[in-house]
Amino acid sequence: MILGWHFRHAAAMISLSQASRVSCRAQSSWRWGWALLLAPLLACAPGEPSEDSPEPAARVERALPGGGWSVLMASGGAPIRSITRRSDGLLIGGASTGHGITVWASRDNGASWYVHGSVASNPSVEFGDVTMRAIPGTRTIFCAFREYAGGQWRVTVARSDNDGDGWVYDSTVVGPTTYFVGAPFLFQRANGDLQVYYDSELLAAQRGYPGHQWIAMQGRQGTTGAWTAYGTVAVSWDKRAGALNREGMPTVVQLGGDRLMVVVEGVEPFTTGGARANVINAVQSWDGGKTWDESLRRTVYQSRIDPGSGRRYNAYVPYAIRVGNGPVGVAFCTDEDKAGPPDASNAPVDQRNCHVGYVSTTTNFETWSGASPVWTATSRNYTPGLFERALNDVIVVIDGLGTHRVLRR
């Protein structure tokens, strides 16, 4: 989020972690410098692959298995937020190093990770918000990310046709623009169309809401060609008079056929105790993302109000998946366990108090459970990312701001 809501300020980008640093001060031109590192994988037996087909087999919700979260990897390198599965069963994901994007891979289903080359490297460009998606039945993997250079932003896509061993430039989705665009999420519709959802101050300004940030969607017919098959879709926002919309960090899940849900981070549309806290929202589509049903806009989670300050605690950077072809599960950061007043929603990430929580849908994908803890042992955390390794076998990777940890439920 920008303009004082959440950490991504358009005037001064905050350091996210030792593994992912971004600065808005890059003044260089748009000159590509792809570093295509084609490191071969060692032969190994893949973990149990989970079919990542566009259409889930089940369309109803079931209860999550009981039990809490156990630690698979206590510390070390790992992808940030996004994981996908290669055609040979290995897991793969990416992480920004500031002026580059490192590829991480796992031979043991996420219990440990090793560096597997690079998507891009350019000292003139700041990279961030890396996400990957493998196309089922192929060796193609797409990687989308945010770029900042020369005072302008854009969302770019790279492509690998050999399971992430090497990468080439694929396309630019949006930009360059002086308005913030970023945090892309790649999604493949049931008909095979590839879509990208992203934060857009640009779209909000173009439609008469400067200072707001919306979720935009653009898509392809199939997986190739221009990102123009859907135009530029504005995902639902709060249309009440005077409401502030600062939505970002989208993740998308398929509820069955063309019924989709997008889960996003936002801010309170109206102040509580004189401030706007981060909250988590969701909305649904019945037609594969072409339009969004305002009647199904929900607050997924908002933290409690601090009685001392009258301000609400924060809930932010959500990540949503379907679990066991059943409920939607969402992992997120929150400061509601801290003593004293809430953190400011624009505080630097490494100065915010953060435990990781989890909520899930309960009925017809329209109501949500209360929160349960995922990780509370440390208070400097960021960007949890969920991945289902096999049916009901879920892991979460958490950025520990200098290290990473992986937990299993």
The pair of three-digit structure tokens given for residue 62, joined into one six-digit string:
């079931």
- Return per-residue pLDDT of the chain as tens, 409 residues: 333 334 343 222 323 333 333 323 232 323 234 433 333 222 233 333 333 444 443 333 333 444 489 999 999 999 999 999 999 999 999 999 999 999 999 999 999 999 999 999 999 999 999 999 999 999 999 999 999 999 999 999 999 999 999 999 999 999 999 999 999 999 999 999 999 999 999 999 999 999 999 999 999 999 999 999 999 999 989 999 999 999 999 999 999 999 999 999 999 999 999 999 999 999 999 999 999 999 999 999 999 999 999 999 999 999 999 999 999 999 999 999 999 999 999 999 999 999 999 999 998 999 999 999 999 999 999 999 999 999 999 999 999 999 999 999 9
What is the structure's pLDDT at 5? Answer: 39
Q: What is the pTM of this model?
A: 0.86
**306 within domain boundaries:** yes
| Residue 78 maps to a domain | yes
Q: Is residue 60 part of a domain?
A: no
Is residue 3 in a domain?
A: no
E runs forming strands in 52-136: 70-73, 83-85, 91-96, 100-106, 114-121, 126-134
Domain membership flag for residue 366: yes
**Structural domain count, the chain:** 1
- 188 contact partners, CB below 8 Å, separation of at least 6: 54, 133, 135, 136, 194, 195, 223
C-alpha–C-alpha distance, residues 35 and 158, integer Å: 12
pLDDT at 7: 34
- The residues, any chain, with a CB within 8 Å of residue 184's CB and separated by 6 or more, are 129, 131, 144, 145, 146, 155, 157, 173, 196, 197, 198
Grouping H, G, I as helix, E, B as strand and the rest as coil, residue 196 is strand
How far is it, in rounded angstroms, from Cα 249 to Cα 247?
7
Residue 15 maps to a domain: no
Instruction: State which residues form the domain around 209.
Output: 70-408
Residue 183 located in a structural domain: yes
Residue 91 is assigned to a structural domain of this protein = yes
The domain spanning residue 124 has which CATH number?
Answer: 2.120.10.10
Nearest Cα to Cα of residue 157 among 135, 189, 124, 190: 135
Closest CA to 285 of 277, 269, 296: 296
**What is the reported pLDDT for 54?**
41
- State whether residue 70 is helix, strand or coil: strand
